[in-house]
Amino acid sequence: MTTLAEFIYTRLLRPAPVRRVTNAILLSVIPNTVRVGRAIVHLNPSDPVISGALALRVFERRELAFFTRSCREGMTVVDVGANVGLYTALAMRLTGADGTVVAIEPHTESRRFLEMTIKANAGTRTQVHVSDCAASDHEETRLLFVNPQNKADNRLYRSEATPYAQSAPVQLRTIDAILVDLGIHTIDILKIDAQGSEFSAITGAANSIRNSPGMMLLSEFWPDGIRQAGRAPERYLELLRDLGLTLFELKRTRLLPLSSDWPSRLIGSRYLNLIGIAKT
C-alpha cells in the first residue's frame, strides 16, 4: 500500500533538485506543534517528511483512525520507533490515568521532540517510560545509520539512504528486557515501525507476546527493508504466526486476512500495514 505522503515523496519528488526545493518549502511551514485528535505533538522543524506530512494532515490517517478505535482506557501500549511521539501522545490521551505507555526511540534528535510531546500531554497522568535503545533480539552496542533527509528513516544497517557518514552508536536491547526492568508483564497494543528490523525486534519481544492474550500488533511490513536488514520477509510472517498471531492487512477501514499475493504487490518501497491479533 502506498500512502499519499509516500507517493508524493518517493515518486513525484524523486528527482533530487525537485526534492530539495520541496523540502525547503515544507520546512518553512512546519509549525511547532499540531493537534491530532486530542493529542498535542511537537514537530521536528528540520524534518520535511514525517513532520511535514503531519503539518499537512496527510500522515497515516487510516492507521491513526484504526489505532484510535483500538486503544482504550487502562491499556499498556508499547510504541517501537516512537519518533516525535505521535502514537505515544494518542495512547496517553486514550489510555488515561490507568494506562501505561513505553516509547522506544534510539534517535537522539527525534527523542528530544518525543520528550516535548510527552510533556505537552502530561495532564493525562498516564505512566510513560522512554527507552533510548533500539529494539533487537540481543544486547550490544551498534551503529544507528541516520537518513539526513528523513528523520524517521533511521536503520541498523547501511543503505543508500543511510550512509556511514551519518551514524551514531546506539544500545540494542530486547523489548522483553525493557519491560521486565519496568515491572511490565503484558502488552495490549504493540506498535512497531523499525525500518526493516522488525524481525529482530519481535524476536526480542517473544516472551511478552506469549504472555499477552488478545494483544494487538500494528506493524509496518516492508519486505525490501527486511531483506536489507538480512532477513527473509516470509520468515517474519512465520515468526508472527508461530507466536500465535492471526495476521490481517489494514486496507482502507477494514481488516482483511493477509493474502498470499503480497510478494507481487510489495516491491521496492511499497509496504502494507500488518495487524496481528493474539489468541485470547
What is the pLDDT, as a whole number, of residue 160?
A: 84
Residues 60-93: tens digit of each pLDDT: 999 999 999 999 999 999 999 999 999 999 999 9
Q: Which pLDDT score, from 0 to 100, does residue 165 have?
A: 75
DSSP the chain: ---HHHHIIIIIT-SHHHHHHHHHHHHHH--SEEEETTEEEE--TT-TTHHHHHHTT-SSHHHHHHHHHH--TT-EEEEES-TTTHHHHHHHHHHGGG-EEEEE---HHHHHHHHHHHHHTGGG--EEEEE-SEE-SS-EEEEEEP-TT-TT--BSS--SSS-TTSEEEEEEE-HHHHHHHHT----SEEEE--TT-HHHHHHTTHHHHHT-TT-EEEEEE-HHHHHHTT--HHHHHHHHHHTTEEEEEEETTEEEEPPTTHHHH--TT--EEEEEEE--
CA 162 centroid distance within chain: 17
In the prediction, which pLDDT does 18 show?
58
Q: Which three cell numbers stand for residue 9?
A: 515523496
- Homologous superfamily of domain range 59-278: Vaccinia Virus protein VP39 (3.40.50.150)
- The predicted pLDDT at position 2 comes to 40
3-state secondary structure of 167: strand
Per-domain boundaries in the chain: 59-278
Q: What is the mean pLDDT of each run of 10 residues along the chain (280 residues)?
A: 47 55 72 96 92 89 95 98 98 98 97 98 97 98 91 90 86 98 98 97 98 97 96 98 98 92 92 95
pTM over 0.85: yes
